[in-house]
Structure 1
Amino acid sequence: MALLTRRGLAALPALMLPAAAGAQATWPERPVRIIVAFPGGSTPDLAARAVQGHLAQALGQPVVVDNRPGGGGHLGTEAIARATDGHTFGVTIGGPGSTGKILNPALGYDPVTDLMPVSLLARLPFVLVVHPSVPARTAAEFVAHAKANPGRISYASTGPGTLSHLAMEDMAAREGFEAVHVPYRAVGQAVLDLVAGRIQAFFAASGGVLPQIREGQVRALAVTSSERFPAIPDVPTMRESGVNADPVVAWIGLFAPAGTPAERIARVAAEAGRALAEPEQRRALETAGFVVVGSAPEVLRAQVASDVERWGGIIRRLGLRPEG
């Protein structure tokens, strides 16, 4: 066997570079999985499927959506954080993707350290909706009614510490009224009970209640975004409706497990943005109540940090803990 000279040894790293670069360029070598922390047909699922086809084309591998519902999104989000195969991404929302560890210190993952932001896919403003029997046609009138009937107004949420809960608690604290919190495990059940009059109010993500608003089964008092929502342009903002409140907007994000190479994250983020820029996808999502985004990783990272500061502070102040 010939001995390598010192010059030959020095040249080895340079000789190996093309092979290493080629190995990196071959990613993905097998199908890519997108874990969705909510069931099929949910708003996070719709967002994931909106990018699925384009990602498969762009990456040259099948992209499989894997729904992992349960625990208010925490079970699926933990599965995203714990994936180690190098071919897994995931879609989740604000609570499991930002303040989950603040709400539940025993949670098996920390969204801030165990997830890497990839792209903010969409935002969904909340809508303050009430049963038609509630004698209020503006947010200000709702506040006045709640003050006049302390403890007699019940409102839904999708669980302790979720935005639908925190938005009402924040408004109640600012405006000085009391209401009874009724947590639900799913938006659909909360909406059914609101329509039936078993609860009186709900801060609902826009996509989950648009049909009932359009059919007159519930009354929309205000949207929680800073501007009116194009899907229901006749519904005023909270401030236009007489309540001085900061915007409350749900979001859907695409994440990767911590340790995912930055170049993969940048590539997937760019392709997700291209997918959401396709006119047909954008129109379909907007019709379903989304504000389509498709951002760089930094935008989602800033959103998570904002949630931790704002909503994490309210969770701590109220001493909230998860059910069960």
Structure 2
Amino acid sequence: MHPTRPFTRRTVLAMALASLTSGALPALAQTKPAGHDKALRVILPLSAGSGADGAIRAISTPISKALGQTLVIENLPGAGGITGTAQIVRASKDGDTIGIVSNNHVVNPSLYKNIPFDSIKDIAPITIIGTTPFVLVANPKVPARTVQELIAHAKAHPGTLNYGSSGNGTILHLGAAMFVEQAQIDVPHIPYKGTGQLMNDLLSGQVQLGVVAVAPAMAHIKAGNLRAIGITSAKRSASLPDVPTIAEQGLPQYELDGWIAAIAPAGVPKTEIDRLYQGFVQGIASPEAREALIAQGYEIQLTPPDVATRFMASEKLRMQAAVKAAQVKMD
């Protein structure tokens, strides 16, 4: 078990599966529940077209059917997700407004001095919907196919490599910075405004390295336009089974997954949190929803609310240590 991570994703998955197989979840009616005649507002503190945005839109219909409420998805990006999350925590406590957050929700407290909410105390986690691995990729012009070859090349040819990210303080920035720090190599960071620009310059060779989500990188890796060096998660990706993890290639402390979670404002009654959780479980149980999430590169988790709460608190502490070690700072 990782010394700075007492509550691992494997523990999360085991507890979630125990809950889902216990038969404890009551069936939900396919009609609007009493007191919930209006739509369910779903705030995404992320831009349209992001991975989390695509995943939630892909599963919104089956979740809507399970809850008996129309889902109205609202993108409120800005300030690394802080702008939209502030709206989530200030929303009404009636269970008719929720939010979808990702890793940056627990990374931001280590990056920004003045966040207008507490990332743990001011939310009521509903469930960790799913996790997805990232992959360290290199432009094919880089003469390295493994982590150790990449480290050796970087040390032998200082100043010849850099890495790009989707922006300062993003999870892709942190993922690459963690690798550089643990590999003890000197590779500068080039921030971009979004994943699209990053991918374009990785493909053209303007930047040589980057940590990116597996799903959008798959086609480029298979075509030989990008080279997969290592998977960031604790286990190999089902989509790239022949690519070893970074940890098994000599950096045993390296571990990073992407994840998305459903949250509500703190103060929403437990009965409402449970109703919403059950809606996600039943909605994502449909083949349509499961296939959509898997196509987006997610491993479905659906942790119960109490497990999600402990997971996010643990992740906040782990990311705090990772940010400090990698010396990631906002300009």
Structure 2 SS opposite 1:315? helix
Structure 1 stretch displaced more, 257-266 or 209-218: 209-218
**Distance in structure 2 (CA, Å) of the matches to 1:315 and 1:225:** 17
Alignment deviations for residues 128-186 of structure 1 (CA, whole Å, 9 cap, x no partner): 00101111101111111111223431101233333322233223222221110112231
Q: How does 1:25-174 map to 2 (within 5 A)?
A: 26-84=34-92, 86=94, 87-95=96-104, 97-174=105-182
**Distance in structure 1 (CA, Å) of the matches to 2:35 and 2:191:** 43
2:260 maps to which of 252, 261, 265: 252
Structure 1 SS opposite 2:121? helix
**Distance in structure 2 (CA, Å) of the matches to 1:83 and 1:321:** 30
Structure 2 SS opposite 1:209? helix
2:323 is equivalent to residue 315 of structure 1: yes
Alignment deviations for residues 229-263 of structure 1 (CA, whole Å, 9 cap, x no partner): 11122222223434434321111111111111111
Q: CA RMSD in A?
A: 2.0
Q: Structure 1: which amino acid aligns with 2:142?
A: V
Deviation at 1:199, TM superposition (A): 0.4
Change (3 A) 1:78 1:276: same
2:175 is equivalent to residue 178 of structure 1: no
Structure with the higher fraction of residues in helix conformation? 1
Aligned to 1:214: 222
Q: Which has the higher contact order (CA 8 A, sep 6+)?
A: 2
Structure 2 SS opposite 1:30? coil
**Distance in structure 2 (CA, Å) of the matches to 1:126 and 1:70:** 23
**Distance in structure 2 (CA, Å) of the matches to 1:78 and 1:209:** 32
Q: How does 1:272-287 map to 2 (within 5 A)?
A: 272-287=280-295
**Distance in structure 1 (CA, Å) of the matches to 2:306 and 2:155:** 42
Alignment deviations for residues 61-90 of structure 1 (CA, whole Å, 9 cap, x no partner): 221111222223222222212212631101
Change (3 A) 1:134 1:36: same
8 Å Cα contact 2:178/2:326 also seen in 1: no
Alignment deviations for residues 203-239 of structure 1 (CA, whole Å, 9 cap, x no partner): 1122332222222211111111222111122222223
Deviation at 1:127, TM superposition (A): 0.2
**Distance in structure 2 (CA, Å) of the matches to 1:46 and 1:293:** 17
What is the aligned-residue identity percentage? 34
Deviation at 1:318, TM superposition (A): 5.4
Q: Structure 2: which amino acid aligns with 1:283?
A: E
8 Å Cα contact 1:47/1:121 also seen in 2: no
8 Å Cα contact 1:55/1:268 also seen in 2: no
Structure 2 SS opposite 1:27? coil
Number of residue-to-residue matches in the alignment: 298
Change (3 A) 1:322 1:176: closer
**Distance in structure 1 (CA, Å) of the matches to 2:308 and 2:263:** 9
Q: How does 1:295-314 map to 2 (within 5 A)?
A: 295-314=303-322
Change (3 A) 1:316 1:243: closer
**Distance in structure 2 (CA, Å) of the matches to 1:301 and 1:255:** 10
**Distance in structure 2 (CA, Å) of the matches to 1:103 and 1:217:** 33
**Distance in structure 2 (CA, Å) of the matches to 1:195 and 1:44:** 23
**Distance in structure 2 (CA, Å) of the matches to 1:163 and 1:278:** 30
**Distance in structure 2 (CA, Å) of the matches to 1:193 and 1:29:** 48
Structure 1 SS opposite 2:235? coil
**Distance in structure 2 (CA, Å) of the matches to 1:29 and 1:280:** 25
2:209 maps to which of 182, 196, 201: 201
Aligned to 1:9: none
Aligned to 1:5: none
Q: Which structure would you say has the larger Rg? A: 1
Structure 1: any 5+ residue segments left out of the alignment?
A: 1-24
